[in-house]
């Protein structure tokens, strides 16, 4: 089928802007909330006096664990609930629901309560993040033209980082207040993007595949015509509708032939096992890199390391993440760029940066230069992750996994990654809290090792897919080799 050429109009552009803003809100709330634990105003409300900490306040181990990790737990629940919810609510209505949950969660946190109430509200915020991610990704996957899907999905990382910069800047402006308003003002700002999204969703068309699944063919045709812009011919729109309908029917037939449990078991059978493991490993680089340590406890980490002006340092770090993401998009767009090498180099650079943080804090803990060195290492670490891994992972998963299995494999990998992120947020206070192990920046030894092991794993297992056709990638996995050249060499030797 010949793809319909898209002629952008304001509704077409808005249809891609809305899911991007959803990811911006996720980044905004994630970074902003993580910085609260370094604010005197927040700690004096939910913590207790502790002369051993840089701020003179401490939340304690369990409150710190739950306050940080419950946002991740809520995100997991949001992603899980989005599946049954999507049977009854369309993609647009799902985004509306996420906006309402986000506004309610942020509003409830403005009211002072015991720490137990704080936990519940953190879960609500995380729940909205999970709904934003699920429905924004689904809307983009179902509405973007085939040739734009990867590009639009990759841009979500840019918007997440933009939200992170906004969250860090907001915290920096309010952290000096010393009262509960230090965190209440950022929470009020959390309401801005969902409120704007709630209005903008009115003007975007519904997902055509969702409408077709629910038997609304005329509405699907009308939505697709809007999404493709003018002047889309009636025949071209009808051809794409027929193609989408064919995919839906094919999916229904495959579900009727095999039980759902059997479909997941097939992912671990001989033809698909290596692809499944590789996809999960690629998605887990989000956790093994140590980026979630910085996302969940970045400002606290800077305080413990003696970084001057830790809230400003958080801004610098998030700006570096944004610049790294932009570089990553450029590297992805370059033809012939060897993605396997980029992944391995990225892991090694991140390992060196984390080792630099840990060794510096061990060798000269009292030096006035430690904070500056730690900040530089963390900035390079974040830049390297988003440039060499964060964006590339999505493209590699698309290239490696069989298209018929892609949704299930990526779903499993994403789920495992979010559970791992929750475990990181839950366990890290035991290592960094001044009343527990009190490792502080020395916890980076863990992430230096994990990055190094990830790089070694990719060196031996990850194949090079840059510039390869689908047939060449298939041959690589059938021959169990690490590159198309080796696969071709093996086939020629067999013929000889």
Chosen domain end from 155, 178, 204: 204
| Coil, strand or helix at 251 | helix
Task: Compute CA distances 318 → 27, 162, 242, 380, whole Å.
Answer: 10, 8, 44, 11
Residue 364 lies in a domain: yes
Q: Are both 188 and 277 inside the same structural domain?
A: no
Cβ atoms within 10 Å, residue 330: 12
Q: Are both 314 and 389 inside the same structural domain?
A: yes
Pairing of strands 48-49, 57-58: antiparallel
| Coil, strand or helix at 359 | helix
> Do 158 and 22 contact (CB within 8 A), yes or no?
no
> Do 230 and 58 contact (CB within 8 A), yes or no?
no
- Closest residue by Cα to residue 434 from 67, 119, 48, 42: 48
Residue 54 CB partners (closer than 8 Å, separation 6+): 303, 304, 306
Residue 248 lies in a domain: no
Ordered per-residue pLDDT tens for the chain, 496 residues:
444 554 556 677 778 888 889 999 999 999 999 999 999 999 988 888 888 888 888 888 888 888 889 999 999 999 999 989 988 899 999 999 999 999 999 888 887 777 778 888 899 999 999 999 999 988 988 887 777 777 777 788 899 999 999 999 999 999 988 888 999 999 999 999 999 999 999 988 998 988 988 888 888 888 888 887 755 567 777 888 888 888 878 777 766 655 666 677 777 777 778 888 999 999 999 999 999 999 999 999 999 998 999 999 999 999 999 999 999 988 887 766 788 899 999 999 999 999 999 999 999 887 888 999 999 999 999 999 999 988 888 888 887 887 777 778 888 888 899 999 999 999 999 999 888 888 989 999 999 999 999 999 999 988 887 666 666 666 666 665 555 555 444 433 443 4
Count of the separate structural domains present in the chain: 2
Q: Which run of H or E residues covers position 57?
A: strand 57-58
Give the separation between CA 439 and CA 305, rounded to whole angstroms: 10
CATH number at residue 320: 1.20.1250.20
Q: Are both 303 and 175 inside the same structural domain?
A: no
Q: Please, what sign has the CA dihedral across residues 458, 148, 129, 403?
A: negative
Residue 236 lies in a domain: no
Helix axes 146-174, 310-333, angle to 10 degrees: 170
> Do 105 and 78 contact (CB within 8 A), yes or no?
no
- Closest residue by Cα to residue 118 from 219, 15, 37, 239: 37
Q: Are both 13 and 105 inside the same structural domain?
A: yes
Give the separation between CA 406 and CA 259, rounded to whole angstroms: 17
pLDDT for the residue numbered 115 = 77
Give the pLDDT confidence of 478-495 residue by residue, as tens digits.
665 555 555 444 433 443
Q: Are both 172 and 278 inside the same structural domain?
A: no
Tokens at 395, concatenated: 């493209």
Cβ atoms within 10 Å, residue 10: 10
Q: Which run of H or E residues covers position 189?
A: helix 181-189
Half-sphere exposure of 72 (CA within 13 A, CB side): 26
Residue 79 lies in a domain: yes
Helix axes 61-85, 91-109, angle to 10 degrees: 160
Residue 389 lies in a domain: yes
> Do 393 and 157 contact (CB within 8 A), yes or no?
no
Residue 262 lies in a domain: no
Task: Compute CA distances 62 → 12, 31, 59, 65, 267, whole Å.
Answer: 47, 21, 8, 5, 38
Give the pLDDT confidence of 155-194 residue by residue, as tens digits.
888 999 999 999 999 999 999 888 889 999 999 999 999 9
Task: Compute CA distances 344 → 334, 389, 453, whole Å.
Answer: 18, 9, 10
Residue 467 lies in a domain: no
Give the pLDDT confidence of 419-451 residue by residue, as tens digits.
999 999 999 999 998 888 889 899 999 999 999
List the domain range (segments joined by +) for residue 437.
270-462
pTM of the model: 0.89
Q: Are both 166 and 303 inside the same structural domain?
A: no
Half-sphere exposure of 35 (CA within 13 A, CB side): 34
Give the separation between CA 343 and CA 282, rounded to whole angstroms: 9
What DSSP character marks residue 50? -
Phi, psi of 477 (to 5 degrees): -80, -30
Half-sphere exposure of 178 (CA within 13 A, CB side): 2
Residue 129 lies in a domain: yes
Q: Are both 450 and 315 inside the same structural domain?
A: yes
Tokens at 417, concatenated: 């990654």
Q: Are both 446 and 356 inside the same structural domain?
A: yes
Q: Are both 198 and 277 inside the same structural domain?
A: no
Chosen domain end from 168, 189, 204: 204
Q: Are both 147 and 29 inside the same structural domain?
A: yes
Q: Are both 196 and 302 inside the same structural domain?
A: no
Q: Are both 330 and 421 inside the same structural domain?
A: yes
- Closest residue by Cα to residue 454 from 325, 385, 351, 382: 351
> Do 282 and 346 contact (CB within 8 A), yes or no?
no
pLDDT for the residue numbered 152 = 76
């Amino acid at each position: 089928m010949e793809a319909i050429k898209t002629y952008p109009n304001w509704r077409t552009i808005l249809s891609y802007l809305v899911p991007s803003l959803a990811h911006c809100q996720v980044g905004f709330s994630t970074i902003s909330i993580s910085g609260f634990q370094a604010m005197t105003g927040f700690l004096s409300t939910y913590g207790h006096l502790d002369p051993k900490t840089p701020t003179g306040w401490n939340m304690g181990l369990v409150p710190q664990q739950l306050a940080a990790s419950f946002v991740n737990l809520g995100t997991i629940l949001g992603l899980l609930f989005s599946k049954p919810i999507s049977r009854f609510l369309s993609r647009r209505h799902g985004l509306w629901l996420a906006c309402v949950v986000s506004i309610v969660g942020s509003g409830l946190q403005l009211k002072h309560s015991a720490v137990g109430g704080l936990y519940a509200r953190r879960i609500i915020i995380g729940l909205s993040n999970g709904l934003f991610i699920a429905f924004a990704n689904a809307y983009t996957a179902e509405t973007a033209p085939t040739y734009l899907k990867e590009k639009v999905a990759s841009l979500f990382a840019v918007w997440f980082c933009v939200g992170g910069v906004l969250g860090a800047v907001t915290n920096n402006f309010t952290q000096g207040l010393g009262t509960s308003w230090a965190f209440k003002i950022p929470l009020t700002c959390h309401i801005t993007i969902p409120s704007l999204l709630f209005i903008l969703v009115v003007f975007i068309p519904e997902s055509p595949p969702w409408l077709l699944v629910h038997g609304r063919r005329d509405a699907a045709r009308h939505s697709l015509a809007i999404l493709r812009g003018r002047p889309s011919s009636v025949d071209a729109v009808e051809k794409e509708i027929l193609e989408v309908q064919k995919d839906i029917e094919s999916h229904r037939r495959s579900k009727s032939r095999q039980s759902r449990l059997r479909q997941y078991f097939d992912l671990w059978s001989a033809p698909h096992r290596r692809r499944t493991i590789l996809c999960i490993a690629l998605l887990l680089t989000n956790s093994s890199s140590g980026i979630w340590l910085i996302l969940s406890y970045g400002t606290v980490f800077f305080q413990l390391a003696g970084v001057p002006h830790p809230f400003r340092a958080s801004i610098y770090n998030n700006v570096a993440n944004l610049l790294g993401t932009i570089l990553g998009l450029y590297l992805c767009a370059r033809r012939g760029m060897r993605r396997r090498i980029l992944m391995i180099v990225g892991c090694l650079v991140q390992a060196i940066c984390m080792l630099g943080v840990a060794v510096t804090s061990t060798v000269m803990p009292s030096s006035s230069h430690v904070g500056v060195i730690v900040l530089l290492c963390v900035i390079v670490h974040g830049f390297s992750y988003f440039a060499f891994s964060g964006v590339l992972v999505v493209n590699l998963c698309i290239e490696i996994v069989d298209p018929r299995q892609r949704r299930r494999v990526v779903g499993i990998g994403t789920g495992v990654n979010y559970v791992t992120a929750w475990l990181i947020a839950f366990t890290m206070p035991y290592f960094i809290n001044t009343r527990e192990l009190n490792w502080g920046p020395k916890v980076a030894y863990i992430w230096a090792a994990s990055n190094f092991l990830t790089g070694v794993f990719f060196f031996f297992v990850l194949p090079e897919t840059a510039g390869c056709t689908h047939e060449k990638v298939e041959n690589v996995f059938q021959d169990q080799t690490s590159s198309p050249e080796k696969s071709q060499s093996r086939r020629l030797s067999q013929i000889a």
